[in-house]
Structure 1
Amino acid sequence: MTLLEVQGLGISFGGVKAVSDVSFTLNVGQIVSVIGPNGAGKTTLFNMISGIYLPRTGKVMLDGEDVTGLRPDLLATRGLSRTFQNLQIFQQMSVLENVIVGFHLHERGAVLSDLLGLPAARRRSRAAEVGARELLERVGLSRAAERESGALSYGALKRLEIARALAARPRVLLLDEPAAGCNAVETEEIDRLICEVAAEGVAILLVEHDMKLVMRLSNCVVVLDHGEKIAEGAPAAVSRDPRVIEAYLGTAAKEAADAHG
């Protein structure tokens, strides 16, 4: 079943096309990676899908609903959540508090009862803390729950941001370079986490420069170059596409594809 459908998305900045006529679909439990050289338009595409940029052309369909240009908080209530290439963690808050914020993003119409301290608000608060602790256990950060987030390693912060995105209970999860800056052990942990989440039926859209990770995880790969889609398909097939090799992949991606079937 298709959860996310991107239809001909395009945007320009200062008369220069950053993304042009990009289309693809994302199904339940599927992992689709968007790859391409620096400046290809990957993060810009993410920003249009997640409501940060308003596309000049095209549509974003979430489970059959046109959500083009909806604010990120409204998209979160509809089941689309994301992480960022540049971490959006509240550094002065505790690890636990950062994840609890993610639960509040999922709530609708709860502001008044929260302000008044009504019983429903207290129940939500308790449930959010329980859920946040469960997510921290899942991403391997339970022992750091009470620590200030700014004291965590970069790899731990990446996992914290994934936990916060999961707190919004997404059906579609956009991950922007989740393994960037991580060591081999941290990358393996993120790999495991992504596979687990997809196995639960969450559709995952991934931007990642670690080609071995992309080849290992992805059901489908979409390749951008200068804002245009130049290839789409299974990882091994895409890595052998002459247009992709010419764009940027080179022999490293082909070797990774050979190693993983």
Structure 2
Amino acid sequence: MTTLLEVKGLGIEFGGLRAVHDVSFSVKPGEIVSVIGPNGAGKTTLFNMISGVYIPGSGQIRLEGEDVTALSPYRLARRGLSRTFQNLQIFQSMTVLENAIAGYHLQESGSIWADLFNMPSSRKRAKLAEAGARKLLDRVGLSRAADQEAGSLSYGALKRLEIARALALNPKVLLLDEPAAGCNAVETEEIDELIAEVAAEGVAILLVEHDMKMVMRISNHIVVLDHGEKIAEGEPVVVSKNPKVIEAYLGTQATEEANADR
């Protein structure tokens, strides 16, 4: 199977402090790869390098075989890489539908003059964006909330809205930074199912998440970071029994709970 996302020897320093060092892994179509590790392990920094927020100090990022290491987030999104953030990036005072529509802007190629003068081409693009946004809201279970202000939604619903907006870019690779953080058990299960559905459509998913039951349940492959370095990787059942992983992050009790839930 063709690799969609490949990370080779990625590293970065801040003020001489090594945040991530020599991290390598790959993600294939339809695969869910989770990155786990204790707080400060470098997970979000790794995400920020892959999504173009930070330029790596060393290593390479390849998307469908193309070197995209120094590309901006905008250009990466154009090439099919989309992401969500650990802290919600939702427009709280806009409606749920308007938030979903916002995700379509990068796909638009029309003239600014057409928008300023409300020309037919502009109106057509707006209708297509709204239709696509409504389909996405239906997909994530938010169609009935389309006209509500986003700020009125529950935290779990806001997480699903952010995923919907990321999906508006029709990504080949989707990066999810703690999509279930702050969610209750029911909300986590809903997000769990949504991620599995997206992966089943062939999207490569890279996930950072602290809910170990969720990670063990949906991941095909796990990469473990500690102090910015990869200390283990493999299938969930193998990683959960790795002594280095247990010592650095999971703990014996957490491992037993995660395995019992599989």
TM-score relative to the length of structure 1: 0.96
Deviation at 1:107, TM superposition (A): 3.0
Task: Please name the residue that 1:195 is paired with.
Answer: 196
Contact 2:41 2:226 in 1 (8 A): yes
Specify the alignment match of 2:51 in structure 1: 50
Which residue of 2 is the match for residue 71 of structure 1? Answer: 72
Structure 1 vs Structure 2 CA RMSD: 1.4
How far the C-alpha of 1:105 sits from its partner, in A, is 2.1
Letter in 2 for 1:251: T
Distance 2:114 2:57 in 1: 38
Q: Map of 1:168-179 to 2, 5 A cutoff?
A: 168-179=169-180
Q: Give the unaligned 5+ runs of structure 2.
A: none
Give the paired residue count.
Answer: 261
Q: Are residues 1:4 and 2:5 paired?
A: yes
Percentage of identical aligned residues: 72
67-76 vs 210-219, greater mean Cα deviation? 67-76
1:210/1:135 Cα in 2 relative to 1: closer, same or farther (>3 Å)?
A: same
Structure-2 change in CA distance of 1:120 and 1:65 (3 Å): farther
Distance in 1 between residues matched to 2:208 and 2:74, nearest whole Å: 21
Task: Letter of the 1:209 partner, please give it.
Answer: H
Q: Deviations over 1:65-114 (max 9, x none)?
A: 11113221211111000000000111111110111010112334654543
3-state SS, counterpart of residue 248 of structure 1: helix
1:120 and 1:256, CA in 2 relative to 1: closer, same or farther beyond 3 A? farther
Distance 2:94 2:179 in 1: 21
Q: Verify: 1:214 aligned to 2:203, yes or no.
A: no
Structure 1 residue aligned with 2:136: 135
Mean CA deviation greater in 140-149 or 30-39: 140-149
The alignment partner of 2:210 has SS state of coil
The whole-number CA distance in structure 1 between the counterparts of 2:238 and 2:32 is 16
Q: Distance in 1 between matches of 2:8 and 2:111?
A: 33
Task: Check conservation: 1:77, 1:107, Cα contact below 8 A.
Answer: no
Q: Which residue of 2 aligns with 1:83?
A: 84
Distance 1:72 1:255, change over 3 A: same
The 1:110/1:226 distance shift into structure 2, 3 A limit, reads: farther
Distance (Å, rounded) in 2 between the aligned partners of 1:215 and 1:19:
24
In the alignment, residue 40 of structure 1 is paired with which amino acid?
A
Partner Cα distance (2:154, 2:259) in 1: 33
Quote the residue 1:149 is aligned against: 150
Q: 1-side partners of 2:41 and 2:243: how far apart?
A: 17
- Deviation string 1:156-180 (CA, Å, 9 cap, x unpaired) is 1111100000011101000000000
Q: Does 1:254 align with 2:255?
A: yes
Partner of 2:61, secondary structure, is: strand
More deviation in 207-216 or 89-98? 89-98
Which has the larger displacement, 147-156 or 157-166?
Answer: 147-156
Q: Deviations over 1:96-151 (max 9, x none)?
A: 01110101123346545434433332222111101111111111111111111111
Q: Give the aligned partner of residue 60 of structure 1.
A: 61
Structure 2 CA distance for partners of 1:62 and 1:93, relative to 1, 3 Å: same
> Quick one: distance in 2 between partners of 1:182 and 1:143?
20
The equivalent residue for 1:16 is: 17
**Whole-Å Cα distance in 1 between the matches of residues 40 and 112 of structure 2?**
40
TM-score (norm 2): 0.96
User: How many angstroms apart in 2 are the aligned matches of 1:205 and 1:159?
Assistant: 16
